[in-house]
Amino acid sequence: MPHVLTLVAPPGALSPSLLPRVREALTALGADCGMPDWLAEREAADIPFTNLAAEPAMAAARAAIGEAPVDAIAQALATRRKSLLLADMDSTIVTTETLDELAAEAGLKERIAAITARAMNGELDFKSALRERVAMLKGLEEAALERTWATTELMPGARELVATMRQAGAYTALVSGGFTFFTGRVRELVGFDEHRSNVLEISNGQLTGTVAEPILDKDAKLAALKEIGAARGIALEKAITVGDGANDLPMLLAAGLGVAFRAKPAVQAAARARVTHADLRALLFAQGFRAAEIVAA
């Protein structure tokens, strides 16, 4: 089966001299490699190959890349262009963990961030950890949410990813273990077709310290992928998912292409594809979009 290996780096960081080195590494494992094809000069390039599966190709490429700031994603060529995007929000579409930043308003950022880090690495049950962290914010004024939103920044490439996929006819959904207060605003700002997340309960202008049930966790994210795909007649192999935490793993593993984006160690180890150096446009290059086809932010 024909496959393609996509190399992606921060702009200007993909050295042309790296491409033949990666081709040689694949050839050494028995692959028949085609000529490299630049998708974006010194930023993204494809190397088509046959006679080798995707996983060993990625492992060989990463070994050849060494310490260079270059990501490698290998997949079947025929199904690389996707029709459905499901994305996590915190530390994926936005640069921060919004709950941790909200905790800063209560002087509890370090304490709550420590719990978040363990939950995102799969060391704690997500639902229990979420309830625990939210309970610590009981009595915080509702205005703290607006102040937190005012300092929240989008991840580079977020707008381009969603706009380009939508222009190509894909459906896009933001599915987060965070809160509707933030996902609704991110949906509007970035252009997602829909958003799903948790409801932070508020009464008399203050956080009650509770989250509405049921809590959107890893199982709900996977269910959303299957439900949205089925409703639109999109097979899972035609879906791309992206996230950084352990609660994203089921949807990452179920999709045709699941990308661990700047992810926690346990997630990087388990996911089939990962991006640690490039921005979110890497997901477009992985689908074969060329720089000229990417919709500008």
Q: What CA–CA distance (Å, rounded) separates 220 from 242?
A: 15
Q: What's the half-sphere exposure (Cβ side, CA atoms, 13 Å) at 129? A: 24
The catalytically annotated residue of 32, 46, 71, 90 is 90
Alpha helices in the chain (DSSP H): 18-28, 54-65, 98-104, 109-120, 126-135, 143-150, 158-167, 180-190, 218-231, 249-254, 265-270, 282-286
Query: How many C-beta atoms surround the C-beta of residue 53 within 10 A?
Result: 13
Q: What CA–CA distance (Å, rounded) separates 279 from 159?
A: 11
Query: How many C-beta atoms surround the C-beta of residue 183 within 10 A?
Result: 25
Q: Which two tokens stand for residue 160?
A: 């381009």
Q: Which two tokens stand for residue 286?
A: 């992985």
- Do 72 and 7 touch, CB atoms closer than 8 A? yes
- Sign (positive or negative) of CA dihedral 196, 234, 167, 35: positive
Instruction: Spell out the SS3 assignment of 40-107.
Output: ECCCEEEEEEECCCHHHHHHHHHHHHCCCCCEEEEEECCCCCCCEEEECCCCCCECCCHHHHHHHCCC
- Do 106 and 140 touch, CB atoms closer than 8 A? yes
**Of 264, 262, 266, 269, the residue nearest 283 (C-alpha):** 262
Q: Is 279 a catalytic residue?
A: no
Amino acid at 96: T
Q: Is 46 a catalytic residue?
A: no
- Do 47 and 5 touch, CB atoms closer than 8 A? yes
The catalytically annotated residue of 88, 100, 244, 248 is 88
Q: Catalogue the active-site residues.
A: 88, 90
